[in-house]
């Protein structure tokens, strides 16, 4: 048996189409959504992500403002730029592409972003709101995973949900979102004992580790739903996930491909947050 493919590319295209319509409507009311994208240095992967985000903005009708800063920019100057963007009415959302160079403290940078423009959902206020069940902006990757699961009609309530990875941007918020949908959630990490045993319990498995094809077909429960967040570039430039697709797709009931699974959903969710931010800011202004 072969698993159902959860096609993130297709769903992301549908969501972006709906957002495009929303943007056309709000523009008639004088609301012109804008996203500032800040990139520091020349990391090729970051450049690819930033370009995809700008392209999505273009498709939907969101104006994007790129700030490409030198690798050696000081923390102080980066914070100055963010403060300027916080006060710029054309900018509804601010995205600082991570990771940042080592001399810049990411936490300080995230804290400098006005939480009402934090469309990545990384600001402590937005993290806290998510924890307490009153979210403003959901972090894009975990939100994209939830949309994929829900759109596919997969029930979460009461299911054993196992997440491998506990980062602030994927694993931790993913756990909160699955919990909010009444999943029974376990988070694994590099110190987890008997990882295989825990992974095998999962009805819904989300893997966000950054290790190429770490999870194999014989490690998962037959019929599991497997969500692969990983994006790993191999030496031959091929992109693979954290899950071995070939073997897992023979055991799982549903699986996301890489590329074409979670990646495009992350971008669609960023667009959704930006439109939401533009509408909320316009309402606040009255």
Residues at the binding site for NADP(+) are: 165-167, 231
Among 64, 126, 141, 175, binds ligand NDP (CB under 6 A): 141
Beta strands in the chain (DSSP E): 4-5, 34-40, 63-69, 93-96, 160-164, 184-188, 204-207, 225-228, 232-233, 239-240, 254-255
Please tell me whether residue 190 binds ligand NDP under the rule CB under 6 A: yes
Please tell me whether residue 171 binds ligand NDP under the rule CB under 6 A: yes
Please tell me whether residue 7 binds ligand NDP under the rule CB under 6 A: no
- Determine whether 53 is an active site residue: yes
Please tell me whether residue 202 binds ligand NDP under the rule CB under 6 A: no
Helix (H, G, I), strand (E, B) or coil at 185: strand
- Determine whether 21 is an active site residue: no
The token duo for 66 is 């790129």
- Residue 114: phi, psi to the nearest 5? -60, 125
Please tell me whether residue 170 binds ligand NDP under the rule CB under 6 A: yes
Count CB-CB contacts under 10 A for residue 45: 11
d(CA 108, CA 111): 5
- Determine whether 136 is an active site residue: no
- Torsion 26-30-32-33 (CA) sign: negative
Q: Which of 97, 136, 174, 281 is catalytic?
A: 97
Minimum distance from CB of 169 to ligand NDP (Å)?
5
Among 208, 270, 271, 277, binds ligand NDP (CB under 6 A): 208
Q: Which of the residues are catalytic? A: 53, 97, 120
Binding site for ligand NDP (CB under 6 A): 141, 164-167, 169-171, 188-192, 195, 208-211, 229-232, 262-263, 266
């Amino acid at each position: 048996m072969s698993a159902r493919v959860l096609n993130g590319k297709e769903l992301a295209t549908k969501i972006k189409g709906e957002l495009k319509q929303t943007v056309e409507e709000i523009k008639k009311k004088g609301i012109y959504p804008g996203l500032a994208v800040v990139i520091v240095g020349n990391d090729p992967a970051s450049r690819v992500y930033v370009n995809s985000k700008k392209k999505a903005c273009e498709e939907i009708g969101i104006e994007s403002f790129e700030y490409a800063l030198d690798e050696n920019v000081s923390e102080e100057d980066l914070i100055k730029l963010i403060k300027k963007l916080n006060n710029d009415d054309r900018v509804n959302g601010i995205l600082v592409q991570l990771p940042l160079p080592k001399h810049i403290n990411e936490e300080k940078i995230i804290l400098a972003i006005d939480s009402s423009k934090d469309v990545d959902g990384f600001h402590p206020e937005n993290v806290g709101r998510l924890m307490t069940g009153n979210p403003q902006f959901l972090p894009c990757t975990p939100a994209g995973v939830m949309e994929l699961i829900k759109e596919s009609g997969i029930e979460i309530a009461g299911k054993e949900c196992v997440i491998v990875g506990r980062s602030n941007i994927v694993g931790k918020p993913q756990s909160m979102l699955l919990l909010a949908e009444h999943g029974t959630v376990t988070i694994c990490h590099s110190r987890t004992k008997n990882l295989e045993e825990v992974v095998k319990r999962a009805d819904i498995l989300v893997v966000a580790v950054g290790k190429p094809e770490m999870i194999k077909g014989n490690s998962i429960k037959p019929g599991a739903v497997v969500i692969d967040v990983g994006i790993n570039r191999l030496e031959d430039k091929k992109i693979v996930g954290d899950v071995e697709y070939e073997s897992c797709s023979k055991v799982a009931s549903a699986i996301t491909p890489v590329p074409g699974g979670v990646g495009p959903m992350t971008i669609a969710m960023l667009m959704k947050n930006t439109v939401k931010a533009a509408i909320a800011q316009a309402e606040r202004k009255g």
